[in-house]
Structure 1
Amino acid sequence: MSTAWQFREATLQDVDNLVALEQRCFDYSRMGARSFKRLLVAPSAHIYVCEQNNTLIGYYLLLTRKNSQRWRLYSIATAPEARGTGLGRALLEHAIEVARVNAAISLGLEVKTDNTTAIRLYEKLDFAVIDLLPGYYDDGTDGYRMRLSFTH
C-alpha cells in the first residue's frame, strides 16, 4: 500500500475530476456532474476520494437511508493507472470502516457477474453473494448482490 495515498471526503470542487474518473473507468451507468452535485449535499450519501500527488485516483460512494443501518456501496472506482497497486482494496477497506464507525449493521453492493477481479476482492474481505440479479445492468449483464454483515 502506498503511503502517498490521501483519503478525504469529496467536495463540490471535486465534481469535474469525479466525472472524468467515471468516464475513464466505466462504459455503463456513468454518473454525471448533476448526480455528483446532488449526492455531495445529500445527507444519505458519503463520497470519499483518494488522491496521490494531488491527483484524484479513486473514489467510492456509500448510500444510506433514514432509519436504516444497512448501507450500500453504490460505486467504487480506481483510475486505470492505479489498478494492481492495492488501491481498490484500500478504498474498500476505508468504505467498510466508514460504515462501521457510523453504526451500520451491513454493507451491500451489486457487481457484474463477469467482474471476477472485483468479486474476488469482495470475497477476500468477507462479502458473500446473497442474490443473483438477472439482466441487472444496462447492457443486460447479470449481477450479484453481495453483503458484508457486521453483526454475527
Structure 2
Amino acid sequence: MSDTGPRWHIRAATLDDVQSLVGLEERCFDYSRMGARSFRRLLKGTSAHIYVCTSENGQLIGYYLLLTRKNSRRWRLYSIAAAPEARGSGLGRVLLEHAIHTAQKHGAISLGLEVKVDNSAAIRLYEKLNFAVIDLLPGYYDDGTDGYRMRVSFTDATNQENR
C-alpha cells in the first residue's frame, strides 16, 4: 500500500526526510511543533512509525506519526499533517486510512489520538473513519485549548462483522 494513485506516493520516512518534516511542521502547526532532534530520535527508535507522502514532483506534502509501546496493542496517532496547499484534496483521508491500515497490519487493536476541540474539519474526518470521542482534555494544548481524545477500535468492527 505505498501508491495512492498518480498524485501521491506514501513511503516510510528516512533520516533524509528530517528537514522536510520540520519544514512541514512549521507550515502546518502554530503549536507543539516537533523539531529535527525529535524526528531523528523517533526514526532511529523502534516505537515510532513515520510515513511521508510526496507529490508527483517529489515534494513532501504530508506525513503521519504512529507511536507504539512495548507489549501494547493500543497504538497512538501522534501527528498527521497535510501541506496547506494540499488541504481539501483528500490527502488527509488518504494519510489517515494508510495509518489505520499500518496499525492493523502490525496487530493493533485500536488507534487513539488527540485533537483540538475547535478543529472541526479534522474531527469530521476522524468520525467518518469511525473514531469516537472518549474523553475531554481540558487545557490540553500549549495555548490552553481543550482537546478531545478519540479512538477507533479494530476489534469491535471485527466482532460486529462476525455477528
TM-score bucket (shorter structure): over 0.9
2:64 alignment counterpart: 60
The TM-score with structure 2 as length reference comes to 0.92
2:124 alignment counterpart: 120
Larger Rg: 2
Per-residue displacement from partner, 1:30-63 (whole Å, max 9, x unpaired)? 0000000000011000000000020000000000
Following the alignment from structure 1 to structure 2, what is the Cα–Cα distance between the partners of residues 84 and 4? 14
Matching of residue 27 in structure 1 with residue 25 in structure 2? no
Following the alignment from structure 1 to structure 2, what is the Cα–Cα distance between the partners of residues 55 and 98? 22
Following the alignment from structure 2 to structure 1, what is the Cα–Cα distance between the partners of residues 6 and 84? 19
2:91 alignment counterpart: 87
How many residues align structurally? 152
1:102 alignment counterpart: 106
How far does residue 151 in structure 1 lie from its aligned partner after superposition? 0.5
Unaligned segments of structure 2, at least 5 residues: 157-163
Following the alignment from structure 1 to structure 2, what is the Cα–Cα distance between the partners of residues 102 and 70? 11
How far does residue 101 in structure 1 lie from its aligned partner after superposition? 0.3
How far does residue 3 in structure 1 lie from its aligned partner after superposition? 2.5
Following the alignment from structure 1 to structure 2, what is the Cα–Cα distance between the partners of residues 99 and 47? 12
Q: Percent of counterpart pairs with the same letter? A: 76
The TM-score with structure 1 as length reference comes to 0.98
Following the alignment from structure 1 to structure 2, what is the Cα–Cα distance between the partners of residues 60 and 87? 11
Other structure's SS at 2:130 match: coil
Following the alignment from structure 1 to structure 2, what is the Cα–Cα distance between the partners of residues 73 and 29? 15
2:45 alignment counterpart: 42
| CA RMSD in angstroms, aligned pairs only | 0.8
How far does residue 2 in structure 1 lie from its aligned partner after superposition? 5.3
